[in-house]
Homo-oligomer: A and B are copies of this chain.
């Protein structure tokens, strides 16, 4: 149902009928199987998508092959490498489906075209950018100031039930610790 997409944008900020119908024309339905990538490292991002069902991780891989799960996107949400789309640089943070996903995707250039001279869409984009900024800032402060146990407890509140849907080692990577350490924390809590 494209209704979910419409509702999501309209919920971010109320939009006119005209803009809602313009927007709905550029999105098409697609699916991602568990393990499939929405975007890889090194590509130039071209698409944005609305995640209708499922879970996607955004992760970074360093030169030693070590991974860091930067963000989980849990439906309903917007996916796509925002950094690559706006900077026009090669993507550094890949996005991969952790469960089967249903998405509505759109070429980003079409969104850019729509916002050319359109105050309302420009405003929607500004607010989406601001929301990304706010959630990034929140995670950064958590990573800097809180113990892994506290971050674990925040994750549980923020993504209820996610632990049942994805492996522990992805959670550990999100928290910035080893699976061993997460196991110790869980052990301590269960004590």
Residues of A within 8 A of B (CB): 60, 62, 66, 68, 70, 82-83, 86-87, 92-93, 117-119, 122-123, 125-126, 129-130, 132-134, 136-137, 139-141, 143-146, 176
Contacts and interface: CB of A to CB of B under 8 A. Distances in A.
Contacts of A117: 119
Give me the 7 closest cross-chain CB pairs, A-B, nearest first.
A126-B126, A129-B129, A68-B144, A119-B119, A133-B133, A136-B136, A62-B145
Contact of A60 (B123, B134, B145): B145
A126 to B, nearest CB: 4
A125 to B, nearest CB: 5
A133 B140 CA distance: 12
26 contacts: A60-B141, A60-B145, A62-B146, A68-B141, A70-B141, A82-B133, A83-B134, A86-B130, A86-B134, A87-B134, A92-B141, A117-B119, A119-B119, A119-B122, A122-B122, A122-B123, A122-B126, A126-B129, A129-B129, A129-B130, A129-B133, A133-B133, A136-B136, A136-B140, A140-B140, A143-B144
